[in-house]
Amino acid sequence: MAGYKQSLVLRRDLGMGPGKAAVQAAHASVEALFAAIESGNRKWRLWVYEWRREGQKKVALRVNSFAELIEIYNKCRNMGLPCSIIRDAGLTQLPPGTATAVGVGPAPEDLVDEITGGLKLY
């Protein structure tokens, strides 16, 4: 059986500094995890348990536009996987409401890869 993972997809076109990108990825990870836990979906909660047991595999990936980020988010929702979209508060580098990142999973690796498998590492 395949393992479990989470993909964190960040926009490269925004020119976020490394610290900003790391924080946005962390927001995406935590929010997608909360979405899975708080959903009441027993399957998603099992995925969280297994993902945690396996060491919480994560990968940081990139897209080059808002449109690409939204496409990833919509694919995740359409496939029925836990996900999150992060919009910046606008306190530092970006205008308020800027979509910066998407968290996909935790979910079975093969399902996550259907959505993010073609993306390049951040």
Residue 85's Cβ-count burial label (10 Å; 0-12, 13-18, 19+) is buried
Peptide linkage before 108 cis (omega within 30 of 0): no
- Sequence ranges of the domains in the chain: 4-121
Query: Given a cut of 90, is residue 93 above it in pLDDT?
Result: no
Mean pLDDT, residues 107-120: 98
31-73 residue pLDDT tens: 999 999 999 999 999 999 999 999 999 999 999 999 999 999 9
Query: Given a cut of 90, is residue 98 above it in pLDDT?
Result: yes
The full length of the chain comes to 122
Phi, psi for residue 2 in degrees, rounded to 5: -70, 160
pLDDT score of 91 = 86
pTM above 0.85, yes or no: yes
DSSP designation for 117: T
49: CB partners within 8 A, 6+ apart: none
Query: Given a cut of 60, is residue 1 above it in pLDDT?
Result: no
d(CA 105, CA 23): 18
Fold (topology level) of 4-121:
Bit1 (3.40.1490)
Query: Can you read off the two tokens belonging to residue 47?
Result: 């995925």
